[in-house]
Structure 1
Amino acid sequence: MAQPTADALDQGWPPPPFLPPPPPRVLDGVRRFDGVTYASSPGYRPRLLDAHVPEAARPLPAVVWIHGGGWLDGDRRYPPPTVPVDLLHGSVLGAGLALISIDYRHSLEAPFPAQLHDVKAALRYVRRFADDLGIDPDRVGVWGESAGGHLAALAGLVRPDTPEGVRLEGTAGVAEGSSEVSAVVDWYGVSDIGPLLAHPMPPAPPGVDFPNPFTALLGGDGDDRQERARLASPVHHADGSVPPPFLLVHGTSDQLVPFSQSQALAAALRQAGGEVTVRPVEGADHIFLGSTDIPDIVDGGTAFLARHLGTD
């Protein structure tokens, strides 16, 4: 039988379901922590993050990037195909913000709220190891696209001071500490799942078996599906305390997630007393297909976060 390593014995046995970040490598003035395990649990792949932090004399504000992919696909390392990696990373890092890119469990690994549990765990991890990472734990925002935009909105709205909030917070990874965020950028995310359960999906590519992303996220076929849809919908969590500032960016010709989804979330946020900016991208489909303004859209998200998180 394999024996525990010395490091594991130092931590106690079994070791905690997360690891502190290893020493970074420095490249072009950026401290890079790649493939850091922020949460793990038996039966699932470890959840990983990459942290890219410009070298600075003081801790920097941080942006947690949440990828899309219909909750079924996607990877922390890659934005949507319309947004070059260098463009997104260069914009955020060039503004003096740290960029934390995270993976989370896909819906066929575990249905909702596992995805939000992982996002919340990543936020708690970033705060727990803020000194190691070189970030300011009091200045953390989230930025997501599509499924990631949905999760970013939930991260900004769900707080653990209600029974529903406790259920959605989870205890993955670092189980204690705050998962609150100071600002949210949501690109074309779903805000109200119930009306979309019967929404027709675009055809999948030939030979690809792509399930309905909404029913896969919710799991099962029970009579309580509408209740699960409500629980997973950001509009239904915008009725508590005043939310953080939101920037909603959405193509007006989005065939997968209608523009009306962002309009509905904006209305709910305003009703709750929140600050919200809606940027329509005229004529653009999902992932901003058809738009020629991608660099401006990216820089707009960065500027919004820099303004609300503060940069020195």
Structure 2
Amino acid sequence: MTAPPRPGGLMPPHAGPLPEARSGAGGVRVVGSVRYAGVPGFRPLEMDLYLPPEGFGRPVPAVVFLHGGGWLVGSRNAAGPAFAGASPTPFERVALAGIAVASIDYRLSGEATWPAALHDAKAAVRWLRTRGPEAGLDPTRIAAWGESAGGHLAALLGLTSDFEGGVGITGVSSAVKTVVCWYAPSDLATVPTDPDAPDSREALFLGAPVSAVPERAAEASPITYAGEHAPPFLLLHGTADRLVPAQQSRRLADALPNVELELFEDADHMWLGTPEVAETALNRTIDFLRHHL
């Protein structure tokens, strides 16, 4: 179930005690810097847990949030620039609706290439399934939600049954019940970047230019795995997205059996310049998660 003790009897990072909770907006309890896994030679892999107020019954469902940033930058601290300074934060709003949020960090492309980030995301789900009950979470009701590159990883969480890796707790299912993707790439070979460029976001993530590793690009693309086995998906995208065209979500939606696709006219990547769309997207996400969890 868990990794063996480290040399010298040191406790593996995922086995440590939960930090003390602090108070968030509306009575949300925030447990910060929870180490869900560790990889020798890398920074600790951590998540922040946003738990519903005490008034909710236990156990509660949970959603893993994966941040964007082109697999190159970003952190677990925010759900995108459209929500900068918001109080309550998007994570607190989800928790106030009765769903815990586990916002995670994962290895970025400057630290490790594909499939390391997916290994980390799956390790986070396995940690929630194994140790989440200590925080009042239901191990049978776990979802995935991500924006941009994080949405790509969330989709892969919902669609793949392999790529488990050996990070953190092992031998436990990393399956999720439902997936929400905001403006996410679904086919790395057709994102409009130079396929021969060694420094594109996709090339840095894959470890080589897309044109040089077409099999790896397909292996890392959610569209490759879409099929009847997929859980329910919610895909939200702006039609004026300049980084990840809305066609990426359209194509994935066409390949999924149980999907809700909503396109927002004239909305750009990260909902920039359209705060009303950002608000709508968050409300749609909360409603969808509540329905399926």
Structure 1 and Structure 2 fold alike (TM over 0.5): yes
Q: Name the CA shift for 1:30/1:228 in 2 (closer, same or farther; >3 Å).
A: same
Matched, 1:80 2:80: yes
Task: Encode CA deviations 1:66-98: one digit per residue, 9 max, x unaligned.
Answer: 100000000101121112453412320121111
> Within 2, Cα distance between the matches of 1:10 and 1:301?
40
Gaps of at least 5 residues in structure 1 are 1-7, 160-164, 201-209
Alignment-mate amino acid for residue 46 of structure 2: L
> Within 2, Cα distance between the matches of 1:90 and 1:217?
30
> Within 1, Cα distance between the matches of 2:185 and 2:5?
44
Cα contact 1:17–1:41 (8 A) shared by 2? no
Match of 1:234 among 219, 222, 227: 222
> Within 2, Cα distance between the matches of 1:231 and 1:41?
23
Cα contact 2:189–2:210 (8 A) shared by 1? no
> Within 2, Cα distance between the matches of 1:236 and 1:264?
11
Cα contact 1:72–1:107 (8 A) shared by 2? yes
Match of 2:236 among 238, 242, 249: 249
What does residue range 207-286 of structure 1 map to in structure 2 within 5 Å? Answer: 211-221=199-209, 225-239=213-227, 241-269=228-256, 274-286=257-269
Cα contact 1:107–1:216 (8 A) shared by 2? yes
**Alpha-carbon offset, residue 23 of structure 1:** 4.4
Cα contact 2:22–2:31 (8 A) shared by 1? no
**Alpha-carbon offset, residue 268 of structure 1:** 1.2
Aligned length: 281
Cα contact 1:139–1:182 (8 A) shared by 2? yes
**Alpha-carbon offset, residue 221 of structure 1:** 4.9
Cα contact 1:65–1:144 (8 A) shared by 2? yes
Alignment-mate amino acid for residue 18 of structure 1: H
Match of 1:30 among 28, 45, 49: 28
> Within 1, Cα distance between the matches of 2:71 and 2:210?
20
> Within 2, Cα distance between the matches of 1:296 and 1:116?
28
- The corresponding residue for 1:205 is none
- The corresponding residue for 2:169 is 174
Task: Encode CA deviations 1:170-204: one digit per residue, 9 max, x unaligned.
Answer: 1200112010001100000100001226459xxxx
Partner of 1:194: helix, strand, or coil?
coil
Please tell me whether Structure 1 or Structure 2 has the larger radius of gyration of its CA atoms.
1
Task: Encode CA deviations 1:228-271: one digit per residue, 9 max, x unaligned.
Answer: 100000000113x52110000001011100100000100111xx
> Within 2, Cα distance between the matches of 1:68 and 1:303?
22
> Within 2, Cα distance between the matches of 1:23 and 1:110?
28
Match of 1:289 among 272, 276, 282: 272
- The corresponding residue for 2:71 is 71
> Within 1, Cα distance between the matches of 2:177 and 2:69?
25
Q: Name the CA shift for 1:87/1:16 in 2 (closer, same or farther; >3 Å).
A: closer
Cα contact 2:50–2:102 (8 A) shared by 1? yes
Q: Name the CA shift for 1:10/1:233 in 2 (closer, same or farther; >3 Å).
A: closer
- The corresponding residue for 1:203 is none
Gaps of at least 5 residues in structure 2 are none
Alignment-mate amino acid for residue 34 of structure 2: V
Cα contact 1:19–1:36 (8 A) shared by 2? no
> Within 2, Cα distance between the matches of 1:112 and 1:283?
32
Bigger shift: residues 216-225 or 44-53: 216-225
> Within 2, Cα distance between the matches of 1:133 and 1:213?
36
**Alpha-carbon offset, residue 108 of structure 1:** 1.3
**Alpha-carbon offset, residue 17 of structure 1:** 4.6
> Within 1, Cα distance between the matches of 2:95 and 2:255?
32
Task: Encode CA deviations 1:149-188: one digit per residue, 9 max, x unaligned.
Answer: 00000000001xxxxx2xx121200112010001100000
Task: Encode CA deviations 1:268-296: one digit per residue, 9 max, x unaligned.
Answer: 11xxxx21000101101111123232212
> Within 2, Cα distance between the matches of 1:101 and 1:221?
30
- The corresponding residue for 1:298 is 282
- The corresponding residue for 1:40 is 38
Q: TM-score, normalised by structure 1?
A: 0.84
Alignment-mate amino acid for residue 79 of structure 1: A
